[in-house]
Amino acid sequence: MECPIDWLYMLENYLLLVKMRGKGSQKEARLERLKEEIVEYIAVVPDCSAADIVHYLSNERRMRNHGLTTRKVGLFIPRYLSDLVGFKLDNTTGKRLYRLAA
């Protein structure tokens, strides 16, 4: 028998609480750490590509379990760091070269 509240269920006269209570703090912490690491790397190495950033984060900073790819970082930067990081297109390769925004 279902209860009108979506996360509360009755099963053989027992109440089961199904809804998770987490606030997503680990996800937010990973997001903030990734933002900080990317901005720090771009500050030290201007005109770097997304592949350079992924290489640094995966191998130097040991963020291997984050599933970082060049494509994900290339989409992440305009979405979350557009006010801090700018880019220019390389004429020879067509890649974006990231640097801190002025």
Quickly state the pLDDT bin for 26 (edges 50, 70, 90).
confident
DSSP of the chain, one letter per residue?
Answer: -B-SSTTEEEETTEEEE-S-----HHHHHHHHHHHHHHHHHHHHS-SB-HHHHHHIIIIIS--GGG---HHHHHHHHHHHSTTTEEEEE-TTT--EEEEE--
Indicate the length of the chain as a whole number.
102
Look at residue 74 in the predicted model and tell me its pLDDT.
Answer: 94
pLDDT higher at 65 or 82: 82
Tens of pLDDT, residues 63-81: 777 788 999 999 999 999 9
Q: Is the pLDDT of residue 89 over 80?
A: yes
Tell me the domains of the chain and their CATH numbers. 28-100 (1.10.10.10)
- With beta carbons less than 8 A apart as the criterion, state whether 48 and 41 touch: yes
pTM of the complete model: 0.72
